[in-house]
Amino acid sequence: MPVIRNLGRAASQLLQGSGCGCGVSLVPVRAIGVSPRQVASDASFHSVTFSESDHPRVLITGGLGQLGVGLAKLLRKRFGKNNVILSDIRKPADNVFYSGPFIFADILDYKNLREIVVNNRITWLFHYSALLSAVGEANVPLARAVNITGLHNVLDIAAEHNLRLFVPSTIGAFGPTSPRDPTPDLCIQRPRTIYGVSKVHAELMGEYYHYRYGLDFRCLRYPGIISADSQPGGGTTDYAVKIFHDAIKTGKFKCYLRPDTRLPMMYIDDCLKATLEIMEAPAEALTMRTYNISAMSFTPEELAQEVQKYVPELQMTYNVDQVRQAIADSWPMNFDDSNARRDWGWKHDYDLPELVTTMFSYLGSDSRVAQAN
């Protein structure tokens, strides 16, 4: 498969991440030169049974992105430092490398990924490797390889080794024909980005593997995620991170979306909490494999008004990026997450005022913010 090999080299140069999976006995056998009999034998030989009281052994792929490092920190507090392995294809910063186990893992390298799962006795996998919306549109072949081919590798390894698998989805999994205000869990999904198409594919494949092979697949549709300790990564909602950095550094911010563009958003602590909660939820409590989660919904103009309470002289201007604006206009304005709140008790902690206060408490050592306070 020379095309995939070449794309794998491109991925190694351009992006974060890698992955692995979760599984059962009836599994599809990939075209990797391994016979069905050998796969069955290997799966039986390497499987490890864990009791309810034992901590999971966790692998996080694409771990150097916006969410992976924070998730690793949360999980290590809960399950122990050495039970959570962070992985990516990029070199980690020293503070990340020395904070706990880190390995190189490329999700397009099926054999290596399988070895990682077997050698480390992985039982839970969080699959974060992906190209985001705007970046994916700039390189569709690479996004297709990473977001779809990489997912297939993860699903097959997950099914083979009986893992509990989490794959995040997104507001980008909906399109212009979906109900936008609010958007329910189940409705028409016709996204118009390769990122969105790949996430709908992940949702459906994960559900299929659950019903066909018994895979313990769990998925949350994230809104835009805002955090203080990561830089914008090419997503359409990243303006809501960049505004804080620019407000502190220069007192000026140029937004690439219209001032009235309403999108669902969430502070990273709520996102990580929800991710852990869905993974720990009893299987019998889950009525679906993919859930919406929500916390708040706002426009650039509303966010700027809240930021100006801390940086009164903030100058907000708009230079609309037609590509990202078209993406945002096809996405939900509000998420209906009533099923998550009913089934496993989801409840957010941060609304817009709390979000802005928290962001400036991390970033606001600058005299401009201090004077405002």
Higher pLDDT, 146 or 233: 146
Instruction: Report the number of secondary-structure helices (H) and strands (E) in the chain.
Output: 16, 13
Establish if 103 belongs to a structural domain: no
Can you name the residues that pair with 165 across neighbouring β-strands? 125, 217
Neighbours of 157 (CB within 10 A): 28
Higher pLDDT, 269 or 42: 269
Higher pLDDT, 326 or 34: 326
Let me know: does 143 contact 194? Beta carbons within 8 Å: yes
Rounded to an integer, the average pLDDT of 244-249 is 93
Q: What is the pLDDT of residues 104-113, one digit of tens each?
A: 999 999 999 9
The whole-number pLDDT of residue 368 equals 54
Task: Provide the edge-to-edge strand list for the sheet that holds 263-267.
Answer: 224-226, 263-267, 296-298
Position 183 pLDDT exceeds 60: yes
**Residue with the two structure tokens 């924070």:** 70
Establish if 70 belongs to a structural domain: no
Which H/E stretch holds residue 216?
strand 216-222
Establish if 267 belongs to a structural domain: yes
Position 34 pLDDT exceeds 90: no
- d(CA 308, CA 315) in angstroms, rounded, equals 9
Q: What is the pLDDT of residues 298-338, one digit of tens each?
A: 999 999 999 999 999 999 999 999 988 998 999 999 999 99
Structural domains in the chain (count): 1
Establish if 124 belongs to a structural domain: no
Where residue 54 falls among pLDDT bands split at 50, 70, 90?
Answer: confident
Coil vs helix vs strand at 86: strand
Q: What is the CATH number of the domain that holds 143?
A: 3.40.50.720
- Out of 229-233, 253-257, 293-297, 347-351, least confident range: 229-233
Helix intervals (H) in the chain: 2-14, 36-46, 68-79, 94-97, 110-119, 133-138, 140-144, 150-161, 194-213, 239-249, 268-280, 300-307, 322-329, 338-344, 352-363, 367-372
Establish if 262 belongs to a structural domain: yes
Let me know: does 23 contact 122? Beta carbons within 8 Å: no
The pLDDT mean for the chain works out to 86
Range of the domain at 186: 130-372
Establish if 165 belongs to a structural domain: yes
- Out of 219-233, 241-255, 299-313, 351-365, least confident range: 219-233
Q: What is the pLDDT of residues 13-33, one digit of tens each?
A: 344 433 333 333 333 334 333
DSSP string, 289-311: SEEE---EEE-HHHHHHHHTTT-
Decide if 110 is catalytic: no
- d(CA 343, CA 139) in angstroms, rounded, equals 38
Neighbours of 93 (CB within 10 A): 11
Position 143 pLDDT exceeds 90: yes
- d(CA 205, CA 217) in angstroms, rounded, equals 10
Position 355 pLDDT exceeds 80: yes
- Catalytic-labelled residue, pool 110, 128, 195, 310: 195
Residue 127's closest CA among 224, 208, 18? 18
The whole-number pLDDT of residue 310 equals 94
- d(CA 344, CA 149) in angstroms, rounded, equals 31
Where residue 50 falls among pLDDT bands split at 50, 70, 90?
Answer: very low
- d(CA 160, CA 178) in angstroms, rounded, equals 35
Where residue 65 falls among pLDDT bands split at 50, 70, 90?
Answer: confident
- d(CA 78, CA 55) in angstroms, rounded, equals 9
The whole-number pLDDT of residue 226 equals 93
The pLDDT > 70 percentage for the chain reads 82
Establish if 20 belongs to a structural domain: no
Amino acid present at 226: I
Higher pLDDT, 278 or 41: 278
**Residue with the two structure tokens 């969430």:** 266
Establish if 96 belongs to a structural domain: no
Q: The tokens of 334 are what?
A: 């509000």
Residue 21: alpha-carbon gap to chain centroid: 15
Position 221 pLDDT exceeds 60: yes
